Amino acid sequence: MAEADRPQITLITPPVLDLEVFPDRLARVMDAVEIACLRLALATKDTDDLGRAADACREIAHARDVAVVIERHVLLAERHGLDGVHLTDGARSVRAARKDLGPDAIVGAFCGPTRHEGISAGEAAADYVAFGPIGTTGLDKGEQAAFDLFQWWSEMIEVPVIAEGGLTAELVAEFGPVTDFFGIGEEIWGADDPLAALKALIAPLG
């Protein structure tokens, strides 16, 4: 695959971070593989815990010129010097987040498997949309985002798109030609060597 056409990587944190260990693991991955963006996807609602994680991850990422977005928490994005927010409710909050964060911030939206939701998010000035899962995950409760959705999007819509959820090397090879980014997180962080797991996962991209 030509380098200009090769999808970029959005790295997604685990839902729970051990700040004694994770920053070093994150730095090792970022030093070896080109990462476009880091997404903080933490399960906790404790703003102190979120803030500590945001500060630690921002320090690692920004030192390597990697943008950082945080799921849902618009106020924390501003407070902790992050680059933007990743919204998990489709198009519904995009306009409000854009108003709060301004024109230069990154505002992205996860739109499940739904083309209409993605179009609405793009029209509301989202910088990117994410569709998924494209593979099987432990959280499957509904349909997967189909290859046809990404193929149509890549041909018709200029807003960048992320493919994520249940990625395998086979899916990376299949979806590589029709997506701008792969969102990768749970697929690697459970491995003994996340860097090796990431390299194996994206090997089909060349």
pLDDT on residue 143? 87
pLDDT on residue 137? 78
pLDDT above 90: residue 2: no
Residue 73 class from Cβ within 10 Å (0-12 exposed, 13-18 middle, 19+ buried)? Answer: buried
Prediction pTM value: 0.96
Please give the single-letter amino acid code of residue 93. Answer: S
H/E element, 37: strand 37-40
* SS3 label, residue 181: strand
pLDDT on residue 79? 96
Number of domains the chain is built from = 1
What is the average pLDDT across 65-71?
A: 98
CATH number at residue 188: 3.20.20.70
Rounded percentage of the chain residues whose pLDDT exceeds 70: 96
Distance set, CA 171 to CA 81, 152, 182 (Å): 34, 17, 10
Per-residue pLDDT tens digits for 172-198: 999 999 999 999 999 999 999 999 999
pLDDT above 70: residue 139: no
What is the average pLDDT across 133-145?
A: 81
Domain containing 101 equals 3-205
